Amino acid sequence: MNNERNIERLLDHWLADGPNEVNDRVIDVVADRIGRQHQQSAWRVSWRDSHMNSYVKPLLAVAAVVVIAVAGIAILGRPSGSDVGGAVSPAASASPAASASAAPSASPSASAVYPAWYTGERDGAGILPAGSQTTTSFVPGFTFTVPEGWVNSDDQADFYRLFPDTPANAAQDAASGPFANEIVMAPLASPYFVCEAWEDNRGATAAEMVAAMVANEALATSEPIDVTIGGLTGKQIDVRLDPGWTDSCPGDPPTFDLGDVRTRAILLDTPDRGVIVIFVGSLHSAGHEAFLAEAMPIIESFQFDTGQ
């Protein structure tokens, strides 16, 4: 179940109660989702914001409405003689049962086990045993094979994430920063790989998107190659900031070394989902080749169910 639709349904129920009432659960769920969002997204700001276009921005809009409504209720006061939405108190509405009911319906999340250091989103299967795996929510579904030491934190219809359980990723999680290494995939109409302000990679096909990337002066790219992954065809290209580009990306902290980031992008054409983009990313160039050696066999084992 899509997180955005979850929040929209909660908001619809709240609005249906009338302008003078608000369900405490709506506030709790929105606050919880926004508080954990940095971990649901990708390791790099560009990947995070690609997913953010379809997830976080609607949440922020909902949160703004909720905050305004709460401010109005604080002024007008609650209706006397009753608790709103059936909740006894805000503390009661934040019970585990309420939180679980608002979570996506990916079945592994209820019993999934995660690394002790991991603090982020938990809509996936958690620590994966070595061997064959099957997605539960991503569309199109797929099977794949992993060695020991990999984690799936997100398995949603439009977002999937894998990362290795490593000290480097643990350190980045503790710092609330983008992960050192991970695989992220999503159907995207206009993905970007270094800085959104510098890129316009909108296209109907993988080839059109890659052509825009190659033509962009802010990017240094490898020669695109044709690939077939799990029955889907498309393009593969390595992307980094062009060494000669001196502009600063709006929104990046001054200490962030955008020039050190490395990304392999695999863009796959689908019959009915547009282009699925797989990001294989490293925060630091020094570890990227080693990470590619680990990640690519996993990606090459993908087998998509294109009959969905």
CATH code where residue 235 lies: 3.40.1000.10
Q: Among residues 68, 102, 136, which one ends one of the domains?
A: 102
Do residue 140 and residue 238 come from a single domain?
yes
What's the pLDDT tens digit per position in 75-86?
344 334 332 233
Q: What are phi and psi of 6, to 5 degrees?
A: -55, -50
What's the pTM value of the predicted model, to 2 decimals?
0.70
Do residue 138 and residue 270 come from a single domain?
yes
d(CA 119, CA 36): 8
pLDDT at 251: 83
Do residue 266 and residue 160 come from a single domain?
yes
Do residue 114 and residue 157 come from a single domain?
yes
Rounded to 5°, the CA angle 84-85-90 comes to: 70
Decide: 161 and 182 in contact? Cβ < 8 Å.
Answer: yes
Do residue 142 and residue 283 come from a single domain?
yes
Cα distance between the two ends of the chain? 16
pLDDT at 109: 54
pLDDT at 6: 46
pLDDT at 24: 55
Q: Among residues 44, 74, 102, which one ends one of the domains?
A: 102
What's the pLDDT tens digit per position in 21-32?
555 554 554 444
Chunked into runs of 10 residues, the chain (308 residues) has average pLDDT values of 46 50 51 41 39 39 42 40 31 34 42 94 95 97 98 96 97 88 96 93 97 97 98 98 94 86 97 96 96 98 86
Do residue 163 and residue 179 come from a single domain?
yes
Q: What are phi and psi of 288, to 5 degrees?
A: -70, -45
CA dihedral 58, 59, 62, 64 (to 10 degrees): -110
Q: Among residues 102, 135, 152, which one ends one of the domains?
A: 102
**121 HSE (CA, 13 A, CB side):** 26
Do residue 119 and residue 62 come from a single domain?
no
Do residue 157 and residue 269 come from a single domain?
yes
pLDDT at 219: 97
Report which secondary-structure segment, H or E, holds 50: helix 45-52
Which residue in 13, 27, 102 sits closest to 65, CA to CA? 27
Q: Which domain holds residue 273?
A: 107-304
**DSSP one-letter code for 193:** S
Take residue 270 and report the two structure tokens written for it: 């689908």
d(CA 117, CA 147): 20
Do residue 219 and residue 97 come from a single domain?
no
